[in-house]
Amino acid sequence: MTQTTGKPLTKERLLALYRTMLVIRRTEEQLARAHQAGLIHGACHTYVGEEAVATGVCANLRADDAVFSTHRGHGHALAKGVNPAALMAELFGRATGVSRGRGGSMHLFAPEVGLMGTSGIVGPCILQAAGAGYSFKLLNTDRVGVAFFGDGAANNGAFHEGLNMASIWKLPALFVCENNLYATEVPFSQSAGNPNVAERSAAYGMPGVLVDGNNVVKVYEAAREAVQRARSGGGPTLIECRTYRTRAHSEGMRDAGYRSADEVEAWKARDPLKLLAAQLPADDIAAVESEVKAQVDAAYDFARNSPYPDPATATTHVFSE
């Protein structure tokens, strides 16, 4: 693990991080209920338990930095600035959704806040983030490209090709591996010859950091250093965040037979929201709770009452004109 140094975060900053994590948590819980109620028409992979990763990383990003996400992308979208109402509306298939109802959970697009897509395909986000880095360097900006991806994706060829190109061309990019120990039901220890992802960075000649992905402050600090390096021309960084999803791989899927209840409980005891809340005044936490509850309730009402898209739009935008 790399030591990150820097000033301790202010209470305001910590509360802001808490708030983002809570928006993700409450939105996901609402989505899970909506899934059970039949309001979500397709897949829904929640981010419950992993909130600290997207939150800690995106708190270091600007709206014009580009995030490329995964099938488990609600947290990335919300942390990057997507409104929970537009996210829920998308999963409900409504015209007011971020992708106007044509994408659902795995095709969330909000380029106006730098969310360049969640994805139904494991792997390409790594290459696209490197490509954003290429573009930002070519165009002489100080923007950065960020890929979030799972431990499963770390075994995909895109990881190898993407990290190598980012390294040889010193691209302003961040590769954030969310190692939640499983790809669906396959333990990472059984699919990786060396299950330490951060160590692989050495093979590509770039810095690699292993952080506690349930500790938002640690994630924040590691990402801050990596983003600064990228912005100042120092090239890419691989950050491995060890974390855990505490719900099933996907809503409605079984969640037994491949991991023990003890393991799940042990990780729940290290819930990223609890860990941070313990450092903050209870009054402040309560205030954030009620604020976020109101926001998520309103988002749900908005989404549920939004119209479905006009079928005439089903074939628009295949081409640019």
Partner 1 sequence: MRELTYTAAAREALAAAMAKDPSIFVVGEGIGARGGNFNTTAGLYDLYGPMRLRDTPIAERGFIGLCAGAAMTGARPVVDFMFLDFILDAMGELINQVAKMQYMSDGRLKMPIVLRGSVGVGGSAATHHSGNYYSIFAHIPGFRVVLPSTPYDAKGLFNTALRGDDPVMFLEHKLLLNTKGPVPEDDYAIPFGQASVVREGGRDCRVTVVALAAMLRKTLDACDQLAKDGISVEVIDPRTVAPLDMDTILQSLHKTGRLLIVDETFAPCGIGAEIAAQAVDRALDDLDAPVKRLNGAHTPTPYSPPLEAAVIPNAATIEQAIRDLLAE
320 binds partner 1 (CB under 8 A): yes
- Residue (135 or 246) nearer to ligand TPP, CB: 246
Name the strand (E) or helix (H) holding 68: strand 66-68
Residue 117 binds which of ligand TPP, Mg ion, partner 1, none (CB < 5-8 A, kind-dependent): partner 1
Determine the Cα–Cα distance for residues 273 and 195; give it in Å rounded to an integer.
26
Measured over the CA atoms of residue 185, residue 163, residue 57 and residue 134, the dihedral's sign is negative
109 binds ligand TPP (CB under 6 A): no
165 binds partner 1 (CB under 8 A): yes
Least distance to ligand TPP, CB of residue 158, Å: 9
Residue 218 binds which of ligand TPP, partner 1, Mg ion, none (CB < 5-8 A, kind-dependent): none
Please check whether residue 67 is in contact with residue 92, taking contact to mean a CB–CB distance below 8 angstroms: no
Determine the Cα–Cα distance for residues 225 and 263; give it in Å rounded to an integer.
32
Least distance to partner 1, CB of residue 33, Å: 27
CA atoms within 13 A on the CB side of 293: 6
Determine the Cα–Cα distance for residues 123 and 85; give it in Å rounded to an integer.
28
Stretch of 55-63, 136-144, 194-202, 247-255 lying at the interface with partner 1 (CB under 8 A): 136-144
At CB < 8 A and 24+ separation, what contacts does 165-169 make? 165/130, 166/130, 166/133, 166/204, 166/206, 166/235, 166/236, 167/204, 167/205, 167/206, 167/235, 167/236, 168/205, 169/134, 169/137
- Residue (26 or 249) nearer to Mg ion, CB: 249
**Nearest CA among 70, 72, 45, 68 for reference residue 58:** 68
- Residue (118 or 306) nearer to ligand TPP, CB: 118
Helix 51-58 vs helix 11-36: angle between axes, to the nearest 10 degrees?
130
Q: Which of 92, 136, 220, 300 binds partner 1 (CB under 8 A)?
A: 136
Give the three-state DSSP class for 211. Answer: strand
**Binding residues among 49-88 for partner 1 as defined by CB under 8 A:** 66, 68
Please check whether residue 94 is in contact with residue 309, taking contact to mean a CB–CB distance below 8 angstroms: yes
Residue 109 binds which of partner 1, Mg ion, ligand TPP, none (CB < 5-8 A, kind-dependent): partner 1
Q: Which of 11, 41, 42, 111 binds partner 1 (CB under 8 A)?
A: 111
- Residue (151 or 240) nearer to Mg ion, CB: 151
49 binds ligand TPP (CB under 6 A): no
Q: What is the maximum span of the chain, computed from C-alpha positions, in angstroms? A: 55
Residue 319 binds which of Mg ion, partner 1, ligand TPP, none (CB < 5-8 A, kind-dependent): partner 1
- Per DSSP, the residues of 220-249 read HHHHHHHHHHHHTT---EEEEEE----S-S
- Per DSSP, the residues of 169-184 read TT-SEEEEEEE-SEET
DSSP state of 195: -
Show the binding pattern over residues 183-222: x = contacts ligand TPP (CB under 6 A), - = does not. xx--------------------------------------
Q: Which of 60, 180, 201, 237 binds ligand TPP (CB under 6 A)?
A: 180
Q: Which of 21, 44, 57, 122 binds ligand TPP (CB under 6 A)?
A: 122
180 binds Mg ion (CB under 5 A): yes
Give contact residues for partner 1 (rule: CB under 8 A).
66, 68, 99-100, 102-103, 107, 109, 111-112, 116-117, 120-121, 124, 126-139, 143, 145, 157-158, 160-162, 164-165, 168-169, 316-321
Give contact residues for ligand TPP (rule: CB under 6 A).
71-72, 120-123, 150-153, 178, 180, 182-184, 249
